[in-house]
Chains A and B, each alone.
Chain A
């Protein structure tokens, strides 16, 4: 078979090329021709098409993401060591330690093949962390599905959960938390947002560049096969029909044992100091790795593509360039270090192959059996793709949605009705126990997990001598974001911030994973732009920089876009993990208190879990964020954890006080007697931010109250922890803790018909 060489492309300008099938628009194809001064070869077309896809080029989001640039590059603990633009951001956490973390979506592949889609999502983000020279130490996964009782959820959910667990457990990484959310809008388009966190010493951070003519380009790890060819442009940028996948392209299959070898091998290579430049191979495979490495350096690059070790000898050069075979890395190494490099790879049984070298000049040239098939400026492939200023329109229905408030919804009139609705909300799929999911994950492997699901955030010990640790939480409130994308994004950020803070850790920086519908829909772009601005406002107010992240567009089933789902992953630092505060009540006789803004906000019923569970309703206005109170709460929590003033703390978010109270009681195995000031319904179900439910020894009441006041908060004692197994709300109702716990634990297993209790 003859290949389409550069010479051939020059000689045959009239050849018709399948640019449209590869997902390129007519004007994009024209600009490729303009860049090259000729038609692209088929290999070049393959490279441009994957690298200029939405997934790789961020062409619709770039102009909006650029606004993150105005944020300070400083956390409350000092300057960022690496920020947006690197493969993952790096945060100084003190004592010479640095932490890198990032979240990434693997939504579409996980719908097509749930197990492998989710598994390779975990593997991909772990390699991003690894490429920063950090040892991956934990994962988190934020999962969103259609309704729990929908037929396809029974296929998608167990597959995705098994994939996350299968891959992560084989790597020996604890999965310390995340979310599981159900909503009809994710039916046919589940969200799998995988987060990985890694640790390194400051002196081990090397931001590598591929400079130095004559340095070798090495591909190492798994061999290259026909996996997910075109996955980057086809899978991540197309939508599915309501009745199932429209296409079934070959998906990627992961091999976690290979990845484990790749991790150990790469860390030893870093340790040996012989990596000059490194890039993980994810979407767009070798196309991405070579063009990124070449444009990060100061020279050109020459690759002999026929040297790439193949699993399938029938692959064409175009396919090799596009293959998304997993567990591969590319790096640049000085010739003098090659011996050492191969020795380390051999020790870990990792196949490594020199496929090219850094050259003079600025061209990326790729040969196939001695004939040049690619001759491009790598910047034009990796960084100078199309940039779209897509039209934005505030949806006409937005005002109708806002006008449709919860005011007209019937509220419980009697204690019995209130008790029924309390049970309904607490045991609804989104609030119910997630153990069925997280029990499939190894949460404590490596022995440094201080907190994991069902706590408000996951927490890891970083330094075994001092107890220095980090906390992580992921949150997105899509319902609030649907009502008001700006405020919803702010509230998602606040929730993640609060989740980290209530464990006693100081929130320092975020990663984001922005899941939206089609960017070609001006209403979706408006939501996206608003959400970015909301995040910027919130990050400025809270002093937490954005370290990096990911955008996933085209999340929709048929013509229906998902609700905007801006996921925020918040990193916190705690000086000693032994000071951490858990969510469950600890001792009979402890006081239960609500801490929150001195002037209580308003609203919080619109968009709430109550409105969803009891009335299937979404409308009205989300509550307003209160940054001063969020920061006051964080300071209070950090001080109270240090001074060991608290028995428990749990943030108030979805389901309000009702859910916080129920979870603190269930997790502690202790009852609660509370009396609420004001309307019991409002108090239980409103979801106003900046609040937490605390329990503590009565002796600590005065010091906590004055500490709260000093931070501009009010602390209101509402009751007592009891050994009576019930939750009672004075003058309203009481429910059996045993019945509540059973129902709360049973919701998910019963719906999936697997392993339910009783």
Chain B
């Protein structure tokens, strides 16, 4: 089945406490020099073909529900 992927990330200027905690844990485990920002990935299965209309629908869904656009950015793409 065709899939649309939505990647959501905290905006660059926004504090990411989860990423900060992961960065700290990595350092404690010896993985030094890695700085993490954590987002989320949505896989959306689509009935039928992925048309431009479908992508637009997914974009609207991302904008209104999947991402909190006040503090997060999102990217919508087709899963290859």
Interface residues of A (CB under 8 A from B): 112-113, 116, 222, 225-227, 248, 250-255, 257-258, 311-312, 325-326
Known: A112-B70, A113-B70, A113-B71. A226 touches B20 (CB 8 A): no
**Docked pose: A692 CA to B69 CA in angstroms:** 48
Name B residues whose Cβ lies closer than 8 Å to a Cβ of A.
10-17, 20-21, 68-71
Asked whether A255 lies within 8 Å of B17 as measured between CB atoms, the reply is: yes
Chain A residues lying within 8 Å of B12, measured Cβ to Cβ, are 312
B17 → A minimal CB distance (Å): 4
Q: What chain A residues lie within 8 Å of B68 (beta carbons)?
A: 113
Residue of B nearest to A227 (CB): B15
The answer for the CA separation of A250 and B13 in the assembled complex, in Å, is: 8
7 closest A-B pairs by beta carbon, nearest first, are A226-B13, A255-B17, A253-B15, A113-B70, A250-B13, A253-B14, A248-B70
Minimum C-beta distance from B74 to chain A (A): 15
Q: In the complex, which of the residues A112, A254, A255, A326 contacts B20, with contact meaning CB atoms closer than 8 Å?
A: A255
A253 and B20 contacting across the interface, CB-CB below 8 Å? no
On whether the beta carbons of A258 and B17 are closer than 8 Å, the reply is yes
How far apart are the CA atoms of A252 and B70 in the complex, in Å? 11
- List the A residue with the shortest CB-CB distance to B12: A312
**Interface pair B15/A255, CB less than 8 Å apart:** yes
B15: chain A residues at CB < 8 Å are 222, 225, 227, 252-255, 311, 325-326
The answer to whether residues A253 and B21 also contact, given A226-B13, A227-B15 and a CB cut-off of 8 A, is no
A227 touches B13 (CB 8 A): yes
A390-B19 Cα distance, complex, nearest whole Å: 47
- Select A250's contact among B11, B17, B20, B21, beta carbons within 8 Å: B11
Interface of A is mostly: loop
* Residues of the B chain whose Cβ atoms lie less than 8 Å from the Cβ of A227: 13-15
Distance to closest chain B CB from A29 (angstroms): 28
Query: Is A253 in contact with B70, judged by CB distance below 8 angstroms?
Result: no
CB distance from B26 to the nearest CB of A (A): 15
Residue of B15, B16, B20, B71 with highest tally of chain A CB at under 10 A? B15
User: Which residues on A sit within 8 Å (CB–CB) of B70?
Assistant: 112-113, 248, 251
- Give every chain B residue within 8 A of A258 (Cβ-Cβ): 17
CB distance from B66 to the nearest CB of A (A): 15
Chain B residues whose CB sits within 8 angstroms of the CB of A254 once the complex forms: 15, 17
B37 nearest CB across to chain A (Å):
11
30 A–B pairs (Cβ distance < 8 Å), ordered by A: A112-B70, A113-B68, A113-B71, A116-B71, A225-B14, A225-B15, A226-B13, A227-B13, A227-B14, A248-B69, A248-B70, A250-B13, A250-B14, A251-B14, A251-B70, A251-B71, A253-B10, A253-B14, A253-B15, A253-B17, A253-B71, A254-B15, A255-B15, A255-B17, A255-B20, A257-B17, A257-B21, A312-B12, A312-B13, A326-B15
Q: How far is the CA of A227 from the CA of B12 in the complex (A)?
A: 10
Chain A residues with Cβ under 8 A from B21's Cβ?
Answer: 257
CB neighbours (8 Å) of A222 from chain B are 15
Residue of B nearest to A311 (CB): B15
Q: Which residues of B contact A325 (CB under 8 A)?
A: 15
Taking the closest CB of chain B, its distance from the CB of A424, in whole angstroms, is 35
A615 to B62, CA, bound (A): 42
**Docked complex Cα distance between A326 and B20 (Å):** 14
Bound-complex Cα distance A251 to B10 (A) = 12
Q: In the bound complex, how far is the Cα of B21 from the Cα of A326, in angstroms?
A: 16
Q: Which A residues lie within 8 Å of B17 (CB)?
A: 253-255, 257-258
B60 to chain A, nearest CB (A): 16
Most buried by A among B12, B21, B69: B12
Complex: how many Å from CA A253 to CA B37?
14
Other than A250-B13, A253-B71, give 9 A-B pairs with Cβ distance below 8 A: A225-B13, A226-B13, A248-B69, A250-B14, A253-B14, A253-B16, A255-B15, A257-B21, A258-B17
When distances are taken between beta carbons in the complex, the residues of chain B under 8 Å from A225 are 13-15
Q: CB-nearest residue of chain A relative to B15?
A: A253
